[in-house]
Amino acid sequence: MSRLRPSDRNAVSKNQPRINELIRVSPIRVVSETGEQLGIIPTEDALTRARAAGLDLVEVAPNDKPPVCKIMDFGKFKYQQKKRQHKGHAHQSKNKEVRLRPKIGEADLMTKVNRAKKFLKEKDKVVFSVIFRGRENAHVDEGFKLVERVVAELTEVAKVEQNASMQGRRIVVTFAPK
């Protein structure tokens, strides 16, 4: 059963439920630790029942009339809420960019393709950019050939999400994991 020190009472924020002595409304609707409805009873009686069970009285629906409180282990409840919150953020797809130049060597290209395969296995999207500088802009067709080669290398692990397109001085193609 968690006890609040006087210094903690002021620290209870609006997004946290009120517990034990912080519940000032009476009467309240009470739900037992097993989920059974105990009905509408005075707050003092509910607190006595919670303490007898070695648990806390937690306000779960403060806006209802009368407010709904549940007898539970507050520490365990907070832990489960935190765990549930982290589960929602388990893996958000990120965009990873791989930059190429039109005259990239064979071994360097394969290194970058293998790096992209690793990103795709981790469920990240991969954006390949072929960047042109100076006189290379006259040979954009070489860049498109390079992109076709990359697409052929990645067909088994990825699908093309956005086809190759010219954006300023670069060709961009986006891959998503299969």
Instruction: Parse the chain into domains and list their residue ranges.
Output: 6-88, 95-177
Average pLDDT over residues 39-55: 91
CA distances from 155 to 72, 91, 129, 140, 165 (A): 52, 23, 17, 23, 18
Residues in the chain: 178
Six-digit token pair at 154? 């990645």
Answer whether residue 107 shows pLDDT above 50. yes
Res 18: pLDDT? 86
Which pLDDT band, with edges at 50, 70 and 90, does 16 fall under? confident
Tell me the whole-structure pTM to 2 decimals. Answer: 0.50
Distance CA 126, CA 140 (A): 21
Is 6-88 in CATH node 3.40.50.720? no
Is 95-177 in CATH node 3.40.1350.10? no
Res 120: pLDDT? 92
Class of residue 70 by CB neighbours under 10 A (exposed 0-12, middle 13-18, buried 19+)? buried
Tens-digit pLDDT profile for residues 68-80 = 999 999 999 888 8
